[in-house]
Homo-oligomer: A and B are copies of this chain.
Amino acid sequence: MSTTPPASEDASPAEAAGEQAGHFEDVAFDVFQKRCPSRSALEHATAKWAVLVLSALTEGEGGARFGALRRRVDGVSEKMLSQTLQTLERDGFVDRRVLRPIPPHVEYSLTPLGRETARHLLGLVDFLEGRMDEVVAARDAYDRARDGGGDHRGDGAD
């Protein structure tokens, strides 16, 4: 069972998935495929840890080791980091090269594609950071509107 990392949305759209989603047989998997394969790449790149890993790899472009990445990304588990790296590598965003098999020495770096993707991502992050005041204001307004207009409880507003 060395074949159980991530990736499950676009590999084999035949009989692999679709049962639990498509209760019928004719509308089965087209719903999840969304009709474009770029969706999966987008989701992989915008995944929770993927953004952080992409950022971390952007900072140190000399090739980072697993442990260094773990330390840099902070709260990521080995499983999630490994999974994220595999997904990103499979999509051609990161390049994994084994420097020495024993003891293990592996370095991860961004491919040109990954670097450009990271640029787009970082651009979005930067944009959002610059507009966070609007977001915070909107959130506050939304919270106040429903806390004072409808029924309110003593909870911490979540």
Which residues of A approach B to under 8 Å, CB–CB? 1-3, 7-8, 11-12, 14-17, 21, 31-32, 34, 36-38, 41-43, 45-46, 48, 51-52, 74-75, 89-92, 111, 113, 116-117, 120-121, 123-125, 127-129, 131-132, 134-139, 142-143, 146, 150-153, 155-158
Contact = CB atoms under 8 A, between A and B. Distances in A.
Nearest to A130: B38
B142 A90 contact: yes
A31 B77 CA distance: 11
Given A12-B158, A90-B142, A158-B8, A42 B75 contact: no
A137 to B, nearest CB: 7
A111 B150 CA distance: 24
Contacts of A45: 124, 128
Contacts of A146: 2-3
